């Protein structure tokens, strides 16, 4: 029974990991890395390690996601301020708000 549960969670974790690396929007990538930590903390409970589960839930899906989002917000602010100057330069970064994926592929360098 618990093999089925662990197997399901494992498949969900790997799916979330692949989604986090290949999604279009970088915000969903960050949230989905928080989901991986949440599922890992459930697996830790099933492995009889409650201290580790508590720590992983608090730090992995709490503070790490918040730190990612704070850094993303700072990058947005810098992008807005320097947006006028950088428009004439190469490969505007495009944080993925409907501007395409964040992997620097060819359709992203709008102003090339």
Q: Which residues bind other proteins (CB under 8 A)?
A: 3, 6-7, 9-10, 13-14, 17-18, 20-21, 26, 29-30, 33, 36-37, 40, 43-44, 47-52, 54-56, 58-60, 62-64, 66-68, 70-87, 89-93, 95, 97, 102-105
Min dist. Cβ of residue 85 to other proteins (A):
8
Taking the alpha carbons of 38, 44, 45, 47 in that order, is the dihedral positive or negative?
positive
Among residues 104, 17, 105, 33, the alpha carbon closest in space to that of 68 is found at: 33
| Rounded CA separation 20/39 (Å) | 14
């Amino acid at each position: 029974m618990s093999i089925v549960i662990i197997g399901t969670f494992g498949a969900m974790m790997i799916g979330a990991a692949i989604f986090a690396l290949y999604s279009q929007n970088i915000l969903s990538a960050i949230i989905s890395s928080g989901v991986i930590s949440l599922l890992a903390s459930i697996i830790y409970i099933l492995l009889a390690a409650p201290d580790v589960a508590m720590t992983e839930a608090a730090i992995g899906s709490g503070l790490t996601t918040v730190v990612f989002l704070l850094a993303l917000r700072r990058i947005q602010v810098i992008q807005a301020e320097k947006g006028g100057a950088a428009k004439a330069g190469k490969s505007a970064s495009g944080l993925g708000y409907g501007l395409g994926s964040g992997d620097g592929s060819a359709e992203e360098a709008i102003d090339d």
